[in-house]
Structure 1
């Protein structure tokens, strides 16, 4: 009786870390998700990262999101050839998963997440998962492990390639060039009047 009760408690009430309704996750991706979550089970806080795939592109917010604690969700919507990836987190992880950090994670993996190739797409999902794991490990000050991002990969998220600075520099050069041109034309007109 005790064994049956223990089995029900350990299997029946555990939220699955992988819910692949769209059937797009490869075994390597599922193994990564399960391995990292199993490591989290050995910690005091026991955070989790769940990956859910659905056959739609909108309404990706996990049901009852506000009732979860220490949980991050990577939700993948797929319909036809279109794919949409979103990151959600419980309230207690909002510090680690700000809107900017979520956007930077997805932006860093954008090329692979747009791929129609299943293997390449799964590579992108693994990057997003590892980035979320790194954010959680930093939040709880866990030591980084093989499932976390390397320093180079972390720099892609922390300092994304911004287009604003080169564009601003280009605009400044154009404005300075036009100002010089107008001064030169004005000076020539004034000299021709004399």
Structure 2
């Protein structure tokens, strides 16, 4: 009888201890989840000093850099926002390796977006490449709308990621630009060309009209 009581007592103690342990495990798991959620956007690849980045933009930055972390080269794309329009060059740029910086300077409603790369990526991120990426989204990047600005910034980030993936011959994923989106960079002025041609025709027509009707020789003949 005493053995039975001892067994029951041990069982009850085990159940109580297990419940306590289970409660502690759930609490620890919740803390870990909260920590990951909070620190996930306090990531070294995100430095949002101006509080411009939307949740979707941060998710994109973290997700793509997490994929890069699994590669042998481990490149990274760092996005920074600063409360100034000039002096945007990262201080650690000269020492950085396999790194691209997207730096956003902001003052009031003005925005200045620049792309910088470490020396080992200069061949992929030439001045023309960086300029074409930014020009392709110039309207969105100048927008005072936070949502519109973030849309343009996400495109810039994905364009940089696509360039890195091409450089290291990684397989393209859902974060890279599509073929149609890449054409916006390689042919940024394609849509403006017809308008430019129309303007040339209009100017030529006006020149011919005024020359024909208001030139001194033509007026003297009349």
With the shorter chain as reference, the TM-score category is: 0.7 to 0.9
2:102 aligned with 1:74: yes
How many Å apart are 1:64 and its aligned residue? Answer: 2.3
- Between 1 and 2, higher relative CO (CA 8 Å, sep ≥ 6) is seen in 1
Question: Which of 22, 29, 49 is equivalent to 2:50?
Answer: 22
1:148-159 to 2 correspondences below 5 Å: 148-159=176-187
- Give the Cα–Cα distance (whole angstroms) in 2 for the partners of residues 154 and 57 of structure 1: 28
Counterpart of 1:5?
none
- Give the Cα–Cα distance (whole angstroms) in 2 for the partners of residues 136 and 169 of structure 1: 38
Q: How well do the aligned residues superpose, as a CA RMSD in angstroms? A: 2.6
- Give the Cα–Cα distance (whole angstroms) in 1 for the partners of residues 89 and 194 of structure 2: 34
1:13-162 to 2 correspondences below 5 Å: 16-161=44-189
Gaps of 5+ in 1: 1-10, 183-191
Q: 1:94 to 1:165 in 2, by over 3 A?
A: farther
SS at match of 2:100: strand
- Give the Cα–Cα distance (whole angstroms) in 2 for the partners of residues 143 and 50 of structure 1: 21
- Give the Cα–Cα distance (whole angstroms) in 1 for the partners of residues 104 and 95 of structure 2: 21
Gaps of 5+ in 2: 1-38, 213-220
- TM score, norm. by length of structure 1: 0.78
Q: Give the greater-gyration-radius structure (CA).
A: 2
